[in-house]
Amino acid sequence: MHEEQIKRLESATDELIRSLEKVEQEIDELGGDLEREKQLRHVARLIYAGQLVEQVGLLYSFNEQSFCQFLAANKNTLQKPPK
């Protein structure tokens, strides 16, 4: 009887370990997806900022300082790319 309980506990422990490993794998996958989504949002904002600069016709007339000033002045507009 005692050996039977030990076997059941070992089996339950094995199932729990497999379940935890599966959850850990899913968490890793979600973390990777989240990082890719952050990168895509960043690229979308950069593209949007470039479109705004190009629309104003200032793309080639900016030096680094005036470009930074433009981005700072328009940061609220640049935060969210159009859908």
Residue 61 lies in a domain: yes
Owner of token pair 């370990």: 17
Q: Residue 71: pLDDT band by 50, 70, 90 thresholds?
A: confident
Q: Measure the CA dihedral 28/33/37/38, to 10°.
A: 10
Q: Residue 60: pLDDT band by 50, 70, 90 thresholds?
A: low
Domain that holds residue 30: 2-78
Residue 48 lies in a domain: yes
46-62 CB burial, b ≥16 within 10 A, e <16: eebbeeebeeeeeeeee
Q: How many domains does the chain have?
A: 1
Q: What is the pTM of this model?
A: 0.42
Q: Residue 13: pLDDT band by 50, 70, 90 thresholds?
A: confident
Tell me what the mean pLDDT of segment 22-34 comes to: 84
Residue 83 lies in a domain: no
Q: What radius of gyration do the chain's Cα atoms show?
A: 26
Helix extents (H) in the chain: 2-55, 64-73, 75-78
Residue 12 lies in a domain: yes
